[in-house]
Amino acid sequence: MARLVAVRPRRIAFAQHLVIMAKSPVRGLVKRRLGREIGDVAAIRFYRSCLSHTVLRLASDPRWQTVLALTPDQDVALRISPPPRKLGRLPQGSGDLGRRMQRLFERLPPGPTIIVGSDLPGIRPAHVAQAFKGLARADAVLGPAPDGGYWLIGLRRSPNVLAPFAGVRWSSAHALADTLANLHGKRIVLAPALRDVDISEAYHDERVSAERLISP
């Protein structure tokens, strides 16, 4: 008589999703504070270059599926040169930053999801990989920024999608603290700090760093 053997149900492995949030590089829409300090032309040129390099660095990595989320919605077909491979595109929709990020977390297929900005010259695939690794043992992962905000947020999205953005004071020194307060009682991992470029000091520091890398 054949012996019955208990078989464990196979765990479904969901794909990892990376969302790069971006604005169309148009005067008056993007990098307005930086534009007031270094000029609109220089600020838009910087942002366009940063966006292209961010997408090209991250979208080619096979460890996750990359989506570019654009605003305004009608610019979802924004051309990026050279065009990256395997890049999905989504409109961000209306509302403040929190409402737009929540919509993305809820709209994407099942699986751990990380959202990053598009003005991070220092971001590398290793940063994203480390964040996904942390998310494997946590409910959420956040990457602090020196100004009190954050450059990365990821949610496990299992068994449900958390909603950590209520009442967050965006564009302030309280954004990270407010989001952490909304995640009270959840398992949280902090990624290494990175700086986005919103002011001339950060812009000039990044230029100096780039020149050092290419100098003989």
Contact between 14 and 112 under an 8 Å Cβ cutoff? The reply is yes
Residue 3: its pLDDT value, please?
A: 52
Burial tier of 190 (Cβ tally within 10 Å: 0-12, 13-18, 19+): middle
Residue 27: its pLDDT value, please?
A: 75
Residue 210: its pLDDT value, please?
A: 38
Residue 77: its pLDDT value, please?
A: 79
Residues of the chain falling short of pLDDT 70: 1-13, 31, 35, 38, 81-85, 197-216
Burial tier of 82 (Cβ tally within 10 Å: 0-12, 13-18, 19+): exposed
pLDDT in tens, 75-84: 887 777 666 6
Domains of the chain, earliest start first: 17-214 (3.90.550.10)
Nearest to 87 by CA among 118, 121, 125, 60: 60
Residue 7: its pLDDT value, please?
A: 45
User: What is the reported pTM?
Assistant: 0.85
